[in-house]
Amino acid sequence: MKKITLKYFINVTLFIDMTSIAVLGFLLGFVIPKGQGYSSQKYFLGLHRHDWADIHLYLALLLLPLLIIHVWFNWTWVVQSTKRYLGVQWKNFLWAISFAWIIVLIVGWFAVKF
């Protein structure tokens, strides 16, 4: 499979995944009632609120590897654009962004873990 075809399928899958996450987030936040109440009100299209939340979670977990693959395929563009816009300091900027993402992941992991 050509790289351009693979990039196309990754991008289409990313679009569908992000759109689904947004729609399910809206559904969970505004359509299906939260908290205690009548159990029959917490169903939408035959699925309980917790089932929709599970689907939302699994789609979010699918998003992470797709984003990593997307950035990996487009890394040359990222480096070239950063060089063009930042000039000499482009390496420092990319290192700072990478370090910031590592910090975000570590803090997020600890926030969920504890």
- For the stretch 8-54, pLDDT in tens is 999 999 999 999 999 998 887 877 667 666 665 677 777 777 788 88
Residues 98 and 44 in one domain: no
How many other CB atoms are found less than 10 A from the CB of residue 14?
16
Same domain, 52 and 9: yes
Number of folded domains in the chain? 2
Which tens digits make up the pLDDT trace of 51-81?
888 889 999 999 989 999 998 999 888 888 8
* Backbone dihedral angles phi then psi of residue 45, each to the nearest 5 degrees: 55, 35
- Tell me the C-alpha distance between 85 and 80, whole Å: 9
My answer on whether 17 and 66 are in the same domain is yes
Distance between CA 60 and CA 29 in Å, rounded?
16
Query: 108 and 90 share a domain?
Result: yes
